[in-house]
Structure 1
């Protein structure tokens, strides 16, 4: 059984592709690639078809993550059905997702930072209009929260293997 995780930000060019890359590396290193799939999307259509923001790409590269081949997309109606966890970067994106999400699937929607252990912030702030420090801080938050998400999906994978 595959667990599918969707990371969601506003334009899908900074935070969500970074979270996808960080989480995918964690999944691969944990040997869970056969059980977990990650993707990312945006709540808005601002950047559909564009690559990741150059500043996000540079910050990720400095930490050994490659998001240079990322292509931004918008959340699709079928994503609510397909993904098991849909993790928003902030309250605005969570609210947008809640309005789009069909009844009976709302339980899949959460803030990513709900899974953080080191940081107490509720959201990953949008670094798009700021400087490089914002992109680094976003990566710090994402890495922390993704570790918590990894623990959840590891438990699910273990339960599926035991069944």
Structure 2
């Protein structure tokens, strides 16, 4: 008997708004153009309701073609006190003029650029343990001082 894997689907799970600080551009390092953006707050709503805590950051690497490798790490706290550690890895790409407009904080239609991430969540809160047992991906929007995304559980 040959077993066939089930086809994965996407289940909208929670929405995130991350408030970000100014871009700190470290210039060209040995790995590329390094940028760091502080995470100063935000919220998660949906199947999780939590406040994003200040203190995280997004460590970006800008490739020669302008594509940005995303490496974000931040924490959130639920109203019951449960802590969630969130790791985000992804890619933002588009035409050079579109990426420059985003960097200037201009409103850009999300269909004009590609911004997708995968998320890993860690927690010791028993009521949130199910978050550690799934994969999540997100479709993201960059605004002047926020990043917004909807996270989808891969079924």
Task: Tell me: higher relative CO, structure 1 or 2? Use CA pairs within 8 A at least 6 residues apart.
Answer: 1
Looking at secondary structure, tell me which structure has more helix per residue: 1
TM-score of the pair, normalised by structure 1: 0.25
Looking at secondary structure, tell me which structure has more strand per residue: 2
Report the structure number with the largest CA radius of gyration. Answer: 2
TM-score of the pair, normalised by structure 2: 0.26
